[in-house]
Structure 1
Amino acid sequence: MKIEKSSLGLWLGSFAKISAILLLVMNAVFWFHPDLARQVAESYSGVDASLFTLTVNNQILGWLISSLQLSVLSFALFTIAGIFEDFGKGLWFVARFSYKLKLFGGSLLLFSLLAPVVQALTSLALTYANPEGERMFVVSFTINLQGLIILFVGILLLLMGRVMDKAIQISDENKEII
C-alpha cells in the first residue's frame, strides 16, 4: 500500500547508511590511534589498562572482535535505512517492511547479546601476552541501562514486525473485497 511520499525518509535513510559506515571506520580509528587505543581497549574488555600491554597484535585482535559486534549494529543501521527509504517512497503495508522491521529488531537483540561475548574475547586477546597466571578472561553480565533498552527495543521491534505481518494480511484482504 502506498502512502504519501516523504523526503524525510530518504534523508534519514542516507543518514543511517553514513552512520553505519562511520561506526566501523571510527572503531578502527579508535583502536589504532595511539592516544585512544588504551581507553577503547579498557572499555571493551573490562580490564584495567595497567594489567595489559598494548601491542599491535592485540590491537588487531581487539579491533576484529569489537568489529564483530559493531558490524551487527552497522547491519541494523543499513536495515533501518531501507525502512526509512520505504517510508520515503510511501511504502508501509508491504511484506518487505515487516521483514526489515523484524531484521532490525533481531539485529538489536543480537547486538546486545554479543556484549558479554565481546568483552570476554577482548579481555583474553589483550592479556594473552601476559605471563602465565596474569592472563584474564573477563565475563560480566552486569545490567546497564543502555544495553537493557537496546535489548527491549529489539524485542519490541520483533513483535511489531509480527503485528505488521497481520496488518499487511488485513490490508491485502481488504483490497480483495474492493
Structure 2
Amino acid sequence: MMPLDMVLTPKGIRFMGRTFPCSIGKNGITGAKREGDKSTPAGMHHITGLWYRPDRLAAPAPWARPIGPGDLWCDAPEHAAYNHHAKAPLADSHERLRRADPLYDLILTTDWNWPDAIPGWGSAIFLHQWRRPRFGTEGCIAFARRDLIWIAARAEPGTRVIVPSSLSKYP
C-alpha cells in the first residue's frame, strides 16, 4: 500500500494515518456491480476528479472544479455520456451535481467503470458528504462534511481507494 491510499476498513476509511467513519452502499460491497444495485464496488479505484460548490465552500485544493447549475452526471446506460460529466439539458437519466441538499457540495469522482463505461456496470461512484452517520448510500462512500473537506484537501488525482471484497480482511 502507498501512503496516499485510502483503504476501507470496518472502522471507516484509513487515509494518511487517520481513520474516518464513513457510509457505503445500502447493500454493502459487491464484486459484481450493476447500475442501481445500491452496492459499493469492491476493488482498487482511483480518484479522477474533485468538484465543489463555490457558493457554499472554498476550493479545497487547486485542482478542484466548480460545480455550476448545469453540471450533471449521466447514469443512463444507453447514453453515450454514461458515467461521465454532462451538461444540462439532458433528457436521459442523470444526477444533478448542484443539489439543494449538501450531499454533493464536495465530490471526489472515481474511475469505477470510467472512462470507457460498460453499460449497466454502475455509475457515479463518488466520495461525498453523508446524510447522517452510517446511513447507507446508493453505492458511493460518504463522510461527515469536515472529514470530507480534510480528505479532499489532501487527496490527489490518482489516489487509490481500496475497497476489499470483505471487510473482515482488514482490522
TM-score scaled by structure 1?
A: 0.20
* Greater share of helix: 1
Structure whose CA Rg is larger = 1
* Greater share of strand: 2
Higher relative contact order at CA 8 Å, sep ≥6: structure 1 or structure 2? 2
TM-score scaled by structure 2?
A: 0.20
